């Protein structure tokens, strides 16, 4: 009898290896989204897998117009901003920061650790939210819900939903962010809204994606087809795997980026520089502020 199985999974259209590069002070990053081959994968601006030793970090710097999502894998990171917000996140913890109209902050590893290893994702904000008030959403590892589609498959639902489990994170740009760990010889199907763009970033192991079993290896970014399908099929064979699935609703708006500022026009970027240099329109507290953690 002929097979009745239709090809229902999205496929992989591109795989790009993330090579290490220097960033910040004493930091090494593997840039995924944001590389020349993967510039502005709407609505995502950047994804870095970072490794920072205890002498490095990301000292005081500004942002406007987007969100930064820091997800720790190993070690601990401190953060501090000009609004008096300060804290530490460790393995499995999450900080979802909406920069909005303006934030100046510092991100530094805890000195007693040998290194800090994690992921930082930049998500663009739609025009109507670019000048919103800054906001933080923070979840400890134990507060992030898990889905277990079957034994040997565990999904941390950082944003969005997976297999009936939903995150409590509020996303101004509709986003799903899932941390998958799969044992060998497993298959899972993950629903993704058909209008979303998306990708997988591989942390460890090998997976086979889609009906044609596209092979994805560690430190590669695998971008999804945009074909109206709402499922991605992922299989492991001879080894276990660790990866993140990230997808979101494209904004389809102009993107003008200058370093840590992302707006819709060159004029808005110019206005942002004036606001930052003049300590106005969201940057009032930047004039005399210096973090304590960057000078320890």
pLDDT level of residue 84 (50, 70, 90 thresholds): confident
| Residues 31-51 pLDDT 10s | 999 999 998 899 999 999 999
In the predicted structure, residue 114 carries a pLDDT above the cut 80: no
Write the CA distances from 296 to 55, 78, 107, 116, 281, integer angstroms. Answer: 10, 11, 12, 17, 30
In angstroms, the CA 296 to CA 82 distance is 17
Mean pLDDT of 130-148: 96
| Residues 58-71 pLDDT 10s | 899 999 999 999 99
pLDDT at res. 53? 87
pLDDT level of residue 6 (50, 70, 90 thresholds): low
pLDDT at res. 46? 97
Ramachandran angles phi, psi of 196, nearest 5°: -75, 145
pLDDT level of residue 222 (50, 70, 90 thresholds): very high
pLDDT at res. 296? 62
Q: pTM of the predicted model, to two decimals? A: 0.94
pLDDT at res. 212? 95
Residue 288 annotated as binding? no
pLDDT higher at 24 or 195 = 195
The token pair at 31 is 């840039």
Alpha helices in 124-279 (DSSP H): 266-278
SS3 248: strand
In angstroms, the CA 149 to CA 170 distance is 24
Write the CA distances from 129 to 35, 80, 106, 199, 262, integer angstroms. Answer: 25, 23, 23, 24, 12
Left (φ > 0), alpha (ψ -120 to 50) or beta: where does 39 sit? beta
Residue 105 annotated as binding? yes
In angstroms, the CA 227 to CA 165 distance is 25
The token pair at 169 is 């994170």
Mean pLDDT of 99-109: 95
The token pair at 214 is 């596209």
Residue 61 annotated as binding? yes
| Residues 223-255 pLDDT 10s | 999 999 999 999 999 999 999 999 999 999 999
pLDDT higher at 284 or 113 = 284
In the predicted structure, residue 111 carries a pLDDT above the cut 90: no
In angstroms, the CA 287 to CA 156 distance is 40
């Amino acid at each position: 009898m002929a097979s009745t199985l239709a090809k229902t999974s999205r496929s992989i259209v591109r795989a790009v290896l993330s090579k290490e590069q220097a960033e910040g002070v004493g930091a090494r990053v593997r840039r995924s989204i944001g590389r020349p081959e993967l510039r502005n994968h709407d609505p995502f601006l950047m994804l870095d897998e970072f490794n920072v030793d205890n002498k490095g970090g990301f000292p005081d710097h500004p942002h406007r117009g987007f969100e930064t999502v820091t997800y720790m894998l190993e070690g601990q990171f401190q953060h501090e901003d000009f609004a008096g917000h300060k804290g530490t996140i460790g393995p499995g913890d999450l900080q979802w920061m909406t920069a909005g109209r303006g934030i100046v902050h510092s991100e530094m590893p805890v000195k007693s650790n040998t290194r800090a290893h994690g992921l930082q994702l930049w998500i663009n904000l739609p025009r109507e939210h670019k000048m919103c008030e800054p906001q933080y959403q923070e979840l400890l590892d134990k507060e992030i819900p898990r889905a277990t589609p079957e034994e040997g498959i565990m999904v941390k639902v950082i944003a969005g939903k997976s297999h009936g489990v939903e995150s409590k994170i509020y996303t101004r740009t509709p986003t799903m962010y899932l941390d998958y760990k799969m044992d060998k010889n497993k298959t899972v199907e993950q629903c993704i809204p058909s209008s979303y763009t998306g990708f997988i970033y591989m942390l460890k192991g090998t997976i086979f994606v889609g009906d044609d079993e596209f092979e994805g290896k560690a430190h590669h970014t695998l971008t999804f087809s945009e074909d109206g399908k709402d499922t991605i099929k992922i299989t492991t064979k001879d080894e276990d795997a660790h990866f993140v699935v990230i997808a979101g609703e494209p904004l389809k708006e102009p993107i003008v980026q200058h370093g840590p500022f992302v707006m819709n026009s060159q004029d808005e970027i110019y206005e942002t520089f004036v606001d930052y240099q003049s300590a106005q329109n969201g940057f009032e507290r930047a004039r005399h502020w210096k973090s304590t953690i960057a000078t320890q």
